[in-house]
Amino acid sequence: MNEKYQIDHKLKTAADYEAQGKNLHAIQLYSSIMEEYPDFDEVYFYLAELYEKMGNLEPAFSLLYSLLDKKPENNEVRLFLGQFLLRNAKWEEAIEILSLILPEENHIVSFFLGYSHFVLREYEMARINFQNYVSFNEQTELLYEADLYLAKIEIELGNFESALNYAKKTDTIYSNFWELNLIYSIIYYNLGMYAHAIVPVEKAIRLNPKEAVSYEWGGKIHLKLGDYLKAEKLFLKYIEQMDNVSSDIYAKLGEACLNASKTKDALTYFDVALKLDPENIFAKKGKENAVLILNKNKASDG
């Protein structure tokens, strides 16, 4: 029996154990392969993934870090560990591991680093890495995904014209993706192009009615355009789907109701906004206006 056949046979047996739910048997077999063939890296990967499947991450991390300690120059091992860390939301650790791989040697590293920094809200670093990935111009779906993240990053950094340019690059792939449509609506809103923002936000809602953030932006856009009843409806839909709603949203809902001549409702929402944030100047002013209108109405009725 040659070595490759022996390894393949044992791996198949271990995989069969996994399929039958006999995880301890599989662990024992993977461990025996590691002892017999210590330079066979894939068995470390299989065992780490089994630990992960079992929800036992500490031995998985320990196993992969020990392998990397033995083979610090092995980029395949480093990349696997980096991806394993990403998969388990260990963003800072993933950055530390992956940043030692030259992007020229493996382009996807720039994408992974960009994503990690994005999740950590380190937008400048995320932008550098995603731009680096895009510069390699590999015609895969990840290229369009990188442009989508760059659009989101530019929104966070307040660069809305640049965000628009990146968003447009993803149209061929993501035109029917709810998030791209939401991104367009956010960009147009921030550029003061409120009428342009309506179609994409409504499409975002249609494509994914369970995504609350689209209702929030829909409410903001219709409020700016003076369609107060539609704004009220969308803000209420947003609130209905969210556990924690900001003072700002209740203040905007109050403004929509005030302008729609629903003054008592407006006062209620301004009060909620102030309860959440007593320093909300917009809500304070709105409440004052609502009280003035109600007092005037009382005076005229009396």
Looking at the fold, whether 1 and 96 belong to one and the same domain comes out as yes
CB 256 within 8 A of CB 231: yes
Looking at the fold, whether 77 and 55 belong to one and the same domain comes out as yes
pLDDT tens digits along 266-287: 999 999 999 999 999 999 999 9
Helix 212-224 × helix 228-241 angle, to 10°: 160
pLDDT over threshold 60, residue 174:
yes
Per-residue confidence (pLDDT) for residue 39, from 0 to 100: 86
Per-residue confidence (pLDDT) for residue 301, from 0 to 100: 60
Please report, rounded to a whole number, the percentage of residues in the chain having pLDDT higher than 90.
82
Q: Which residue has the higher pLDDT, 299 or 133?
A: 133
Q: How far is CA 197 from CA 29, 172, 194, 274, in A?
A: 58, 19, 5, 29
Residue (of 236, 233, 229, 264) closest to 250 by Cα position = 236
Instruction: For the beta carbon of residue 8, count every other beta carbon within 10 angstroms.
Output: 11
Looking at the fold, whether 213 and 301 belong to one and the same domain comes out as no
Looking at the fold, whether 199 and 117 belong to one and the same domain comes out as no
Per-residue confidence (pLDDT) for residue 70, from 0 to 100: 93
Looking at the fold, whether 263 and 200 belong to one and the same domain comes out as no
Q: How far is CA 150 from CA 92, 139, 154, 159, in A?
A: 20, 17, 6, 11
pLDDT tens digits along 97-135: 999 999 999 999 999 999 999 999 999 999 999 999 999
Confidence band for 21, pLDDT divided at 50, 70 and 90: confident
CA distance linking residue 261 with residue 256, whole number of Å:
9
Q: Does 274 reside within a domain? A: yes
Q: Domain range spanning residue 115? A: 102-157
Q: Does 162 reside within a domain? A: no
Domain at 223, CATH number: 1.25.40.10
Residue (of 243, 245, 257, 251) closest to 280 by Cα position = 251
Per-residue confidence (pLDDT) for residue 128, from 0 to 100: 97
pLDDT over threshold 90, residue 228:
yes
b vs e for 217-237, b when ≥16 Cβ sit within 10 Å of the residue's Cβ? bbbbbbbeeebbebbbbbbbb
Per-residue confidence (pLDDT) for residue 8, from 0 to 100: 80
Q: What is the mean pLDDT of the chain?
A: 94
Please report, rounded to a whole number, the percentage of residues in the chain having pLDDT higher than 70.
99
Looking at the fold, whether 14 and 69 belong to one and the same domain comes out as yes
pLDDT over threshold 60, residue 302:
no
Looking at the fold, whether 93 and 4 belong to one and the same domain comes out as yes
pTM: 0.89
